[in-house]
Every structure is written in C-alpha cells, then in structure tokens.
C-alpha cells in the first residue's frame, strides 16, 4: 500500500488579533505538524502507513506562484489543536458565510479558528485586501472516519457575512452531481511548506495544474482506501499536492470539485496521485449544513 500523508501543516509564528481575540506568538512558535500520521490512534489503525519522508519536498510541486488575488475563493486557516499548538490548512469560500475544508483539519481543534480571506502572502501581514474572522461554528461530516479516510469534509460558518470584493469571491459548486470530471484539467492552490526541514508554510500562494484520473487507477496506488466519494488527480511529472494544502480547493473551470484530503508521502516527487473529497458526493450535505449567504 502506498504511504499516505494527510496534507495539513503547522506554521511557525504569527500574532493575529481577530474579532477581538488574540493568538500568542508562543502558540504559533510551538506549533507542530498537523499530519494525521502523528496521531497515535491513527498509527494503531494504520501501522503500515508511514509518515512523511525527509527527502520529499512538500509544497504545491510542479507549480508556480499564483497571480496575487487571482484565486479569490482561497482561504487560509490557523487551527488550535492543543492549548499551545496551532496547525495550518486551506479552505474554500462557498458563500459569504461558509468555508468548506477537510474534516481532518478541524476534528481535533480545541478553540476557535482564525480564518483569513483575500490573502496572497501567509502569514497575511498588513494586506488591506484581507478579511479575518475568528470562527467557532464548525460542522464536521457525521460519517468522517479517520480509520478509513472517508467523508473528509467540514464546514466553517460565520455569524456575519464576509464583505465580498475583487479579492474575496465565493466559488461555484457543481450543478451536475453525476459528472465525474475524468480527464479534465484541474487547478489546486495552497500555501504548502517549502521543505520538510523548514517548519513554515510557503510565504505566497502557489498553484499547480493536473488532471483527474479514474478511481480505478487511484485505487491501484491506495489499495483499500479509494471509494466513489473520492476524486484523484495525477501526480505525473511531479505535479500534485503536498503538506500544507489540506482542505484546499480542487477546481475545474472555476467550479469546486474537490477538497484536498490525502496524498502519498512519496507523491510530490515520484508521481503518486493526490486524493480529494469529491464535492459532487456531498452537494446535498453542503446545502443542508451551510450557513445562508445572507
């Protein structure tokens, strides 16, 4: 079975006052990687799935820096996972009051999530395009299961709508739940770490194009894991998602078709596919649980 690494990464240091609440520099400085493999219970469930390998370059590989503010649906999440630790994940704005992300990013949180929208740099600094929220209303799919990596999806809901702008625009969801997107060219974006030896995320948003492969082909890499509610992209030519991009968007023609879930520990450099939560499998669940836009 291929090594699997869930793509959620810690950050080093950031002081951020959001909605009157403060995350301390010490909390961020002491952050640890948010890989699912570091959870002792996960290690018991999956003893044959090792953690990340030191020779893998974990960021959006084979890609480029995004044009600033060209992905206005992209969200950055700082998530407290212990009383002193913070993890980083991506997310996608789907309406003015709702962000979709991966369940594994938020299921071990111990406090409110710092949510940044309209950012290109991360940590976001003083960019005037940025809107920040401190969010505690989180809905995790009731079927999410770390043991079998199914239903890795969650929603973060805001009490007050986010002011939209050229830098902050919700993404479209699919209209046809039967569309499999096989062979379509995809775009994945995120702030993945520049290397395993550096415990910080990329300072700028990066993106990479790939293509949707069949679940049968993906199943050959991840024996016993891939189901119909997953969607996979090719890792050929070193293109794929790596640590730091968990929860982020998989997009085709401006439509959100996946949420970054997991990938091989070898995937960034030797061509293993990246696995996502398939949005068309969850359209009803999203509709029932998202916050009204207004």
**Active site (catalytic) residues:** 104, 152, 246
Q: Distance between CA 39 and CA 89 in Å, rounded?
A: 17
Selection from 244, 275, 281, 270 nearest residue 91 by Cα = 244
Q: How many CB atoms neighbour CB 292 within 10 A?
A: 10
Residue where the block lists tokens 């799919």: 141
- Matching residue, tokens 């710092």: 114
Is the bond preceding residue 123 a cis peptide, omega within 30 degrees? yes
The radius of gyration of the chain's CA atoms, rounded to the nearest angstrom, is 17
Q: What is the C-alpha to C-alpha distance for residues 170 and 104, in angstroms, rounded to an integer?
A: 22
**Residue 69 neighbours by CB distance under 10 Å:** 18
| Tokens, residue 28 | 């961020």
Yes or no: say if 274 and 187 are a contact pair by the CB < 8 Å rule: no
The length of the chain is 294
For 239, residues 6+ apart whose C-beta sits below 8 A from its C-beta are 61, 62, 63, 208, 209, 210
């Amino acid at each position: 079975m291929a090594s699997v690494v869930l793509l959620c990464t810690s950050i080093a240091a950031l002081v951020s006052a959001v909605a009157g609440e403060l995350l301390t520099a010490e909390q961020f400085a002491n952050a640890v990687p948010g890989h699912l493999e570091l959870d002792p219970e996960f290690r018991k469930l999956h003893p044959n799935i090792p953690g990340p390998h030191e020779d893998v370059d974990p960021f959006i590989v084979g890609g480029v820096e995004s044009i600033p503010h060209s992905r206005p649906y992209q969200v950055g999440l700082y998530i407290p996972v212990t009383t002193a630790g913070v993890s980083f994940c991506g997310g996608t704005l789907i309406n003015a009051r709702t962000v979709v992300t991966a369940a594994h990013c938020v299921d071990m949180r111990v406090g409110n999530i710092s949510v940044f929208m309209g950012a290109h740099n991360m940590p976001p600094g003083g960019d005037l395009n940025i809107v920040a929220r401190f969010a505690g209303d989180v809905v995790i799919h009731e079927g999410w299961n770390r043991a079998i990596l199914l239903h890795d999806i969650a929603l973060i809901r805001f009490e007050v709508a986010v002011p939209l702008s050229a830098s902050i625009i919700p993404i479209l969801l699919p209209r046809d739940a039967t569309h499999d997107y096989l062979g379509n060219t995809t775009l994945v974006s995120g702030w993945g770490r520049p290397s395993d030896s550096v415990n910080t995320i990329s300072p700028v948003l990066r993106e990479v194009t790939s293509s949707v492969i069949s679940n049968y082909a993906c199943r050959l890499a991840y024996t016993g894991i891939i189901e119909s509610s997953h969607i996979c992209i090719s890792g050929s030519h070193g293109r794929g998602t790596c640590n730091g991009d968990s929860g982020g968007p998989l997009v085709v023609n401006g439509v959100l078709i996946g949420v970054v879930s997991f990938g091989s520990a070898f995937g960034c450099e030797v061509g293993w596919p990246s696995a996502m939560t398939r949005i068309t499998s969850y359209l009803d669940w999203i509709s029932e649980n998202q916050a009204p836009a207004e």
